[in-house]
Amino acid sequence: MDPADVRTGDIVVGVDGSIPARSALSWAAAQARHTGARLHLIAVWEIPALHGWAPALPYDEDLAAAAGKVLSASARDVLGEQPTDLEIAESIVPGHPAQVLIDASARAALLVVGCRGHGTLTGALVGSVSQQCVRHARCPVVVVRGTW
């Protein structure tokens, strides 16, 4: 994704299909309705790290399509079929999730991410993508915890 795809003033939300990401999308949509900002949904995919051999399949096409399906399903489940009260943009981008969202934050008014957590002890900590976004984003960041 070219960071220019994000318009100045957009509310950018990372979408990965998880329950925390759906909660983040719901929160971001409410904020976009409140402020009149465009909601920009971003799904990120990357080729899995493989050691010792090169992938034989054209991963880019399959992973991009899968990310697109996750983005569409999440948007439909959280926002409905075609919300008329929101201006929405969608991007499906190859790369590392934190870096793509940080790059998108350069023009955004707000970056919204979910926090997965991993159990009782580590669940209290901020996840690696959300932590990187909080530390390096160039706009305010909201990390949404909880269930959708």
Q: What would the pLDDT profile of 41-65 be if each residue is shown by its tens digit?
A: 999 998 876 666 665 555 556 889 9
Q: Can you tell me the distance from the alpha carbon of 79 to that of 124, in angstroms, rounded to the nearest whole number?
A: 28
Number of other CB atoms surrounding residue 81 within 10 Å: 6
Give, in order, the Cα–Cα distances in Å from 103 to each of 61, 62, 95, 99, 147.
23, 24, 11, 6, 27
Homologous superfamily in CATH for domain 3-144: HUPs (3.40.50.620)
Domain ranges of the chain: 3-144
Helix (H) or strand (E) holding 74: helix 59-79
Write the pLDDT tens digit of every residue in 6-37.
Answer: 999 999 999 999 999 999 999 999 999 999 99
The pTM score is 0.85
**Backbone dihedral angles phi then psi of residue 41, each to the nearest 5 degrees:** -90, 130
